Amino acid sequence: MSQTADTAMTAPHDTTAQDHLPQLHRPRNPGLPLDLDWVARVQANTSAIERRAATLPGRRTVKKAYQAAWLARAVTCIDLTTLAGDDTAGRVRRLCAKARQPVRADLLSALGLPAITTGAVCVYHEMVEVAVEALAGTGIPVAAVSTGFPAGLSPYHLRVQEIGESVKAGAAEIDIVISRRHVLTGDWQALYDEMREFRAACGPAHVKAILATGELGTLRNVARASLVCMMAGADFIKTSTGKEGVNATLPVSLTMIRAIRAYEAATGIKIGYKPAGGISKAKDALVYLSLMKEELGDDWLRPDLFRFGASSLLGDIERQLEHHVTGAYSAGWRHPMA
């Protein structure tokens, strides 16, 4: 990372409480009519993208107090998630308690940081009401995965209805999954129509379009699917469900981020980005934050435009913050998720 990037984010003792609380949502993306000519012009130079992505993890990163500040910022961008078949109301309440205080108070005090929270809590529809109740008054939104997550192959009318039920239950964000076959067959009109209907069903809730990039075949498909979903009104585009064989990667992220940049250049509309699946180490979070800063700018270093779909990431970040304070690494069990 450049020296400019080193110093541009605020040091811990200067960080305000407001910066570390979930930001108010930006205005909705109204979308555009489908422009098939624009879609057809989209290409992806895979070898160049892979070369650029390969340089990112090995570059010099932020250190000392700046690293602590960046890691604290990363915490505020986490969608703390539980999507297990054995989820219970008790587990979700404990996860919400962690979202309210993701880093131990003594560590925050030693770092000179105010209270921070995660960006959101993400659950299945069945647990939305439990999470909404547990987070009441905090300003932390509840995100619900929807539309037959993770495969997106349930009956279409039920996928649309599921969105409405989650919004009715209090979800402020809906993570939908697209039909991968539309991308693989190049049926961009079908993908656009699907995304438009999902977006309409969300009503006031913001919608994150999960592309399941590990199943789309090529980076060109990823780029085109990203553009079509943004045209159809997606407020965020997201890499993965976390259930695919390959989830968030740096080449995929670079491809999607540049699609966001092109969309903003053409429309003036900022779209959010959410990498999900496989991001579990604090050093990975620093790489993604530096990528967002370099490609899109400081606006994408806040939770209204950037989220990590992760849970185990939080534990490693908390360990790194304790190391910054004490000079020693603690055992993982000292930083439980719930």
- Which tens digits make up the pLDDT trace of 47-59? 999 999 999 888 7
What is d(CA 59, CA 72) in angstroms, rounded to the nearest whole number?
21
Instruction: Check residue 195 and give its pLDDT.
Output: 98
Nearest of 225, 243, 217 to residue 182 by alpha carbon? 225
Instruction: Check residue 22 and give its pLDDT.
Output: 46
Structure tokens belonging to residue 191: 């993908």
Instruction: Check residue 60 and give its pLDDT.
Output: 62
Write the pLDDT tens digit of every residue in 4-33.
333 333 333 344 334 444 445 778 999 999
Beta bridge partners of 177: 210
Residues catalogued as catalytic: 175, 238, 274
What is the CATH number for 84? 3.20.20.70
Nearest of 296, 306, 332, 323 to residue 118 by alpha carbon? 306
What is d(CA 295, CA 254) in angstroms, rounded to the nearest whole number?
8
Please give the tally of structural domains in the chain: 1
Instruction: Check residue 330 and give its pLDDT.
Output: 76
Kindly write down the DSSP assignment for every residue of 150-196, as one continuous string. TTT-S-HHHHHHHHHHHHHHT-SEEEEE--HHHHHTT-HHHHHHHHH
Q: Coil, strand, or helix at residue 127?
A: helix
Record the pTM. 0.91
Looking at every residue in the chain, the average pLDDT score rounds to: 91
Instruction: Check residue 92 and give its pLDDT.
Output: 97
Residue by residue, pLDDT tens for the chain (338 residues) are 333 333 333 333 344 334 444 445 778 999 999 999 999 999 999 999 999 999 988 876 788 899 999 999 999 999 999 999 999 999 999 999 999 999 999 999 999 999 999 999 999 999 999 999 999 999 999 999 999 999 999 999 999 999 999 999 999 999 999 999 999 999 999 999 999 999 999 999 999 999 999 999 999 999 999 999 999 999 999 999 999 999 999 999 999 999 999 999 999 999 999 999 989 999 999 999 999 999 999 999 999 999 999 888 999 999 999 999 998 877 766 666 65
Instruction: Check residue 3 and give its pLDDT.
Output: 35
Nearest of 173, 194, 182, 193 to residue 238 by alpha carbon? 173
Write the pLDDT tens digit of every residue in 156-213.
999 999 999 999 999 999 999 999 999 999 999 999 999 999 999 999 999 999 999 9
What is d(CA 124, CA 216) in angstroms, rounded to the nearest whole number?
24
Residues contacting 203, CB < 8 A, separation 6+: 164, 167
Nearest of 112, 129, 131 to residue 121 by alpha carbon? 131
Burial class for 191, CB neighbours closer than 10 Å (0-12, 13-18, 19+): buried
**Domain region containing 40:** 3-334
Q: Which CA distances in Å does 176 have to 160, 163, 202, 222, 229?
A: 10, 8, 10, 16, 11
